[in-house]
Amino acid sequence: MLGETEVRGLSSHLGAVVRENQQHHENLQDLLEKFQGLLQSYNELKSDYEEEKEAREKYKRLARGQERNPFALVLVDGDGYIFKEHLIKKGPEGGIAAARLLSDTIKELLHERLGYLGDQCRIMVRIYSNILGLSKTMARAGLVGNEARSLSPFASSFTRAQELFDYVDAGDKKEGADYKIREMFRLFADNNQCKHIFFAGCHDAGYLSLLTPYQGSADRITLLRSGSFHPEYQSLGLPVRELPSVFMSTPFGGTPSNPPSPSKPVCKHFQKGICKYGNECSKLHIMPNQQFSKNVEETHQVPLRDQTYYAKNLPAINAKSEEFIAVNKDGDRVDTYCPQPPQDAWELYNRRAKRHKLCNKYHLGGECGDMACEYDHSHIDGSALNVMRYILRQHPCSRGATCRAIKCYLGHICQKDLCKGTKPCRFPRQAHTLELRVSQWLTPVDQHDIHESPISENSVNSTTDPNNTFSYLMKGILD
């Protein structure tokens, strides 16, 4: 029979076994719970992985599809780029020959720029011109007949000669071809299937702002030189090529035997390329072989001001400009300098605006009185803020130069590079001719209805894809 001591020992040992068994049970339960958690996390990660894998495969399929039909785009302003005289004189046959010459020449340039990839590209050509006006001009030169649209047979044959070649009549409205070319460029500038763009519009400085966001993009854009080439295009850092076998190398018509006298003297320094006054020169800037016409006079009725001029004469955004209104000697409001933002800033802004449209009143005006405002009030990057400021400055303030509201974020002068003061610019002529030097800084006036304007808050807060940023909202904002 067991003694009392042995019974107590067995009881103690049994208690220890029970406690160990209980601890073991608890450890097992804890292990099972952790395993269950790991298994759930694994399933979630697996699901995320499958979704990511599926998205990646879709992207690869899309990318392969975009690589399947590569092409190069040739954009031509036919009002400034004239085919060789012997081609025009041949009529329909000349149109076919012109298409073949242009195709062969572009293929050579493509091979030079892209190598083997260039050989795989099809060539798309879009020529836009005022066929009625051009026919009249060519008829006077004896290149075509005297019919109303005597250039049409040449244009039609050019279009039929190649599948992707089109010679388009842009109508007889002023700058009709310009609108078409700008929209076509924006459509294809960042298209993956479009491997290169040959731009033939360098006779007109109005296209400079269109190409400025792509300066230095030699792998994407080549400029084509023709009869006249605006020197400002050299500053874009883009390759320049000439097609002497296709387009005339001198301005069409040359100098007339009895040209009308210009309303002001011609600048001889400009003709030599050494005029130090630039766009502020009081004399007329035309080349020696350039035909003087009413159009030349019209383009100089409004002084052409470039970004260098605005940067030099407009006040900068600083603490003073945020408290006072800058005016010139005539008491007209002078805006602070607002240059066109770089491409990366546009992309940053678009990404942000696509997530949640930004509130203009809050970010640009400093406050938003709408307690139920649907737009984003959270902090934004400085470069994105510059894009917002630039966009709104393209909209003229209804008060014009008399506006004295410090929180007005609309434009009071036109800061568009080399703007002629014609459509599509929305600013009145006065906004292109104001004296820009600041005479004094005035205390602002509280004008509560300052934001009344033709644009709505909803439309300005809208956005589209980065390849065509706000073109739907402001035709010509980057023109």
350-366 confidence digits (pLDDT tens): 888 888 888 888 888 77
Q: How confident is the model at residue 478 (pLDDT cuts 50, 70, 90)?
A: very low
Sheet containing strand 165-169, edge to edge, reads 165-169, 122-129, 71-77, 194-200, 221-225, 240-242
d(CA 117, CA 120): 5
Read off the pLDDT of each residue in 453-470 and give the average, rounded to a whole number.
37
Q: What is the pLDDT of residue 166?
A: 95
Q: Is a pLDDT exceeding 60 seen at residue 26? A: yes
Continuous H helices in 261-401: 268-272, 294-299, 307-313, 343-355, 360-365, 382-393
pLDDT digits (tens, 9 = 90+) for 5-15: 877 777 788 88
Kindly tell me if the per-residue pLDDT of 44 is higher than 60: yes
Q: Which of 226-235, 249-258, 308-317, 453-462: highest mean pLDDT?
A: 308-317
User: Dihedral sign, CA of 246, 251, 254, 258?
Assistant: positive
pLDDT of residue 230 exceeding 60, the answer is yes
Task: Say if CB 358 and CB 462 are below 8 A apart.
Answer: no
Per-residue model confidence (pLDDT) at position 265: 73
Among residues 289, 243, 206, the alpha carbon closest in space to that of 83 is found at 243
Surface-to-core class of residue 7, CB atoms within 10 Å of its CB (0-12 exposed, 13-18 middle, 19+ buried): exposed
pTM (predicted TM-score): 0.45
* Separation CA 60–CA 474 (nearest Å): 35
Query: CA angle 191-197-199, nearest 5°?
Result: 135
Check whether 452 has a pLDDT greater than 50. no
At residue 15, the pLDDT reads: 82
Look at 389 and 291; give whichever has higher pLDDT: 389
Greatest mean pLDDT among 136-140, 288-292, 340-344, 411-415 lies in 411-415
Q: What are the angstrom distances between the C-alpha of 69 and each of 65, 78, 118, 189, 218?
A: 8, 27, 12, 16, 22
Instruction: Indicate the DSSP class of residue 340.
Output: P
Residue 280 pLDDT = 60
d(CA 87, CA 78): 14
| Predicted pLDDT at 276 | 60
Pairing type for strands 240-242 and 325-327 reads: unpaired
Give 408's contacts (C-beta < 8 A, 6+ positions apart).
397, 399, 447, 450, 451
- 265-298 pLDDT, tens per residue? 777 765 555 566 665 666 776 655 444 444 444 4
pLDDT at 466 over 60: no
pLDDT digits (tens, 9 = 90+) for 55-94: 777 766 655 555 678 999 999 999 889 999 999 999 999 9
Radius of gyration of the chain, Cα coordinates, nearest whole angstrom: 33
Task: Report pLDDT digits (tens) over 170-209.
Answer: 887 767 788 899 999 999 998 888 999 999 999 888 899 8
Mean pLDDT of the chain: 80
Domain positions in the chain: 71-242, 307-442
pLDDT at 458: 39
**pLDDT number for residue 151:** 93
Percent above pLDDT 70 for the chain: 81
- Cα angle value 53/192/195 (rounded, 5°): 145
Residue percentage of the chain with pLDDT more than 90: 24
Which comes out higher in pLDDT, residue 456 or 280? Answer: 280
Position 174 scores a pLDDT of: 66
How many angstroms separate the CA atoms of 232 and 240, rounded? 12
Please give the residue that has the higher pLDDT: either 153 or 424: 153
Listed residue (177, 148, 224) closest to 78, CA to CA: 177
Q: What's the confidence (pLDDT) of residue 163? A: 92
Please report where in the chains the tokens 């269109």 appear, as a residue.
210
pLDDT at 23 over 80: yes
Is the CB of residue 181 less than 8 Å from the CB of residue 75? yes
Q: Is the pLDDT of residue 138 over 80?
A: yes
pLDDT band of residue 455 (cuts 50, 70, 90) is very low
